Amino acid sequence: MSQDCIFCKIAAGQIGGPPLFQDEHVTAFRDVNPQAPLHVLLIPNKHIVSLNEANAEDQALLGHLMLTAVKLAQAEGVANGGYRLVANTGPNGGQSVFHLHLHLLAGRRLTWPPG
């Protein structure tokens, strides 16, 4: 856990309400500033700054994160209609919180390309 990381605190249950989903490895919670009717963030419980800092030992964890997003999309009833998974990475990627996370966005027709 990184002491000054907001997402580490959410994973540890120190701030925020009860997560949408949590297991030993990952936590999912609603984005505080939703950009779509469904906007969930999925994070590894361990502090990884971004995809750039993930390594081979995180391979199963990253797969689990993605499959958990699919399960949540199904549970929230948006799987068939479609959704988007996004991992903003670094300055040009628009990353603002430096604890690796996936955005699960759904519930409206999302445009492409992103801004």
Catalytic residue numbers? 101
Interacting residues with ligand 5GP between 20 and 79 (CB under 6 A): 29-33, 41
6 lies in the site for ligand 5GP, by CB under 6 A: yes
82/99 Cα distance (integer angstroms): 26
Sole binder of Zn ion in the list 30, 39, 46, 47 (CB under 5 A): 47
Interacting residues with ligand 5GP between 87 and 106 (CB under 6 A): 88, 94-97
Q: Of the listed pieces 29-37, 69-77, 82-90, 94-102, which binds Zn ion according to CB under 5 A?
A: 94-102
Q: Rule CB under 6 A: which residues touch ligand 5GP?
A: 6, 16, 29-33, 41, 88, 94-97
